[in-house]
Amino acid sequence: MKRVKNIKPWLFLLFLLIIPTGLFTVVEVTSLSDQEQMIESIYANQLDAVLYSINQYADDMVSSWSNDIHRHIINENNLSEIERDWPQTNPQVEYLSLIPWPGDSISLNDQDNERSELDQEIILRLQQNFTDTHRLFTYLRGGYRKIAGIDLDYNKHLTMFVFAVESDGNKYVCALVVDARRFISEVLSPRMQAVAADQLVLTVRHHSSGELVFSSDFNTVPETLTGEQAIWLIPDYFLGIQPVGMTIRDLARQRAMRNIGLIILVDLLLVIGALFFYRSVRRESRLAKIKSDFVSNVSHEIRTPLSLISMYAETLQMGRIKDEGKRYKYYDIIYREAQRLSGIVNNILNFSRIETGRRKFHFSEVDVNEVINTVLENYHYHLEKHHFQVEKELDQTIKTISGDREAITETVINLMDNAIKYSDKHKWLKIQTGLKGTFICIEIMDKGVGIPQREQTLIFDKFYRVTKGALAHHAKGSGLGLSIVHFIMQAHHGRIEVDSKEGNGSTFRLLFPIDKIGKKH
C-alpha cells in the first residue's frame, strides 16, 4: 500500500510521455531544413522532367516539319518554289532557306535585297557553326535527323532551326527561320498549359532582355523562378517552373510550418492528456487516502464509546460496585456513550441517505430555542466530563421556524461536537440565537484551535478534514459532519457560515430565512 502512495505520477509522466515527445519534437524541428532541401530538389527534378517533355515536344514538331520539307524536295526538286511556298503552310515560319552543302563557299539562292540580308546572316551563322552544321550530315547518315537551334541577330524575335537534307546525292542545309514568340505561344503553349495543369506555373522568359514571353497563368506570375533552364531549340528562351501561388521556398516553409504546427498540436494534446491523467491519478490516490482515513477514523470513533460501554457494563456485571450513586453514574455513562455511538452511526447513515438521494425531511413548526435547550440538556454530562464552560444566550422574541426538528437538532449536535473536539486548553463554548437581517440565526462559538483561512471553504466538502495544525492528529472524525450540516441547511433554504482564525476559535452560524417562519411563539 505504501509503495502505491510513493509513486510520483509526474515523474512517471515525464519519462513516459514528455521526454519522448520532447525528443521527437527536437528531431523533427532540426530535420526541417533537410526537408526544405528535399522539397526543393523534388521540384528541381520536376523541372527537369517538364523541360525534357517540352523540349521533346518542340523537337517532334520541328522534326515533322523537316520530314515534310524533305518530302517536298524529293517530289518537286524545285528548291526556290519550296522556299517560297512552304513557309505559307506554317504561320510561325517566317522564312525557309535551302543551302546546298558542302562547299567551301556556302552559296546563296537569288533573293531580293531584304531577304539576302537575312540569308547573309544565316550563312554567317552557319559558317560560325560550321563544325556543328557539318555534324548534322554525320547524324543523318546514321539515320537521325538532328535539329539545331541557332539564334539570329537580324531580329531579336527570330531564331532558326537548322537540319540536314539529302536527296539524290545532293546535300542541303535547311534553315527554317521562325518567330520564336509565335513558336512559343502557338506551338509550345498548349503543351505547356497541359503540363502545368492547376498545380504549376510554367513561364518562358527571353533571357537577354528578361522579358516574360509566356506564362501558363499570367494572374499569378511568380517574381522569382527557381531553376530556369534554356529551351534546346530556342536557347535564348528560358523555361521556369513554380508551384501555383508560391515559391518552392515558400512551399517548403509552409510545409515546415504545418509540420511544426502539427507537432506542437500533438505535443499539446499529449500534455493535456497527461495532465488529465495526472489529475485523475492524483484524485484517485487522494480519494483512496480519504477513504482509508475515513475507515480508520470512524473505527476509532466507534471503538472509544464501545470500549467505555463494555468496560462499565463489565464492572457492573461483576457486582463489585456497591455504592448506589456510583452505579447510577456508570449506567449513565453507558447510556451517554451509547447515545454518542448512535450519533456517529446516524451520521454515517444520514450521509449515505443524502448521497443516494433518500434523505427526506418532515417539516413542522420548530422552536430553535427549545431545540438548543434539549441538546444542552442531553449533552450536560458530556460537557461536564470535558470540563467545558457553556454560555447560553437565547433570544426569546424569535419566532418558530418551519423545519425538520430532527435535522435541526442534528446540525446543532454536529456543531457542538466539533466545538468540543477542536478545543484545546480553552474549554468554552457559547450558543446564541437571534435575528440577523432576514434570518433567524443560531451561533455556536468556541475558543478552540480555529481553522486556517484557506481551509474554510473546504471543510464543508464530504470527507474533508483539516490535516495540519494543533488538534488535527488527535481529534478523530469522519469528515462528514459539516457536509451533512451544509446539506440540511440547503434543504431549509438557509446557509451555514464560519468565522474563524487559526488558534483563535471559531464561530459557526446557521441561518434560517425569515420567510420560512411560522407562527409567533
The minimum distance between CB 304 and ligand ADP, in angstroms, equals 13
- Cβ(368)–Cβ(411) under 8 Å? no
Residue number, nearest CB to ligand ADP = 477
Give, for 269, the enclosing helix (H) or strand (E). helix 248-317
**283 vs 501 by CB, closer to ligand ADP:** 501
Buried (b) or exposed (e) across 363-396, using 16+ Cβ within 10 A? eeebbbbebbeebeeebebbbeeeebebeeebee
- Pairwise CA distance, residues 256 & 269, whole Å: 20
Minimum gap (Å) between residue 288 Cβ and ligand ADP: 18
Residue 322 beta carbon to ligand ADP: minimum distance, rounded to whole angstroms = 40
Of 320 and 454, nearer to ligand ADP (C-beta) is: 454
Residue 459 beta carbon to ligand ADP: minimum distance, rounded to whole angstroms: 4
Instruction: Report the C-alpha gap between 484 and 461 in whole angstroms.
Output: 9
Q: Which is nearer to ligand ADP, 418 or 433 (CB)?
A: 418
What SS3 class is residue 174?
strand
Q: HEC states along 63-76?
A: HHHHHHHHHHHHHH
Whole-angstrom Cα distance, residue 500 to residue 452? 7
Taking the least distance from each CB to ligand ADP, the nearer of 24 and 428 is 428
Burial of residue 408, with CB atoms counted within 10 A of its CB: 0-12 exposed, 13-18 middle, 19 or more buried: buried
Q: Which is nearer to ligand ADP, 69 or 451 (CB)?
A: 451
Q: Which is nearer to ligand ADP, 305 or 477 (CB)?
A: 477
Sign of CA pseudo-dihedral 210, 213, 216, 220: positive
Nearer Cβ to ligand ADP (241/466): 466
Interstrand relation of 158-167 and 170-179 (parallel, antiparallel or unpaired): antiparallel
Contacts with ligand ADP by CB under 6 A lie at 414, 418-419, 422, 446, 448-451, 459, 464-466, 477-483, 506
CA distance linking residue 248 with residue 236, whole number of Å: 24
Element (H, E) at 228: strand 226-230
**Least distance from C-beta 383 to ligand ADP, angstroms?**
14
145 or 486, CB closer to ligand ADP? 486
Residue 135, number of CB atoms within 10 A of its CB: 14
Nearer to ligand ADP, 264 or 472 (CB): 472
Q: Give the residue with the Cβ less far from ligand ADP, 316 or 491.
A: 491
**By three-state DSSP, how is residue 242 classified?**
strand
Q: Which amino acid is at 226?
A: T
The H or E element that residue 403 is part of is strand 401-403
Looking from the CA of 112 toward its CB, the CA atoms found within 13 Å total 3
CB of residue 255 vs ligand ADP: minimum separation in angstroms? 59
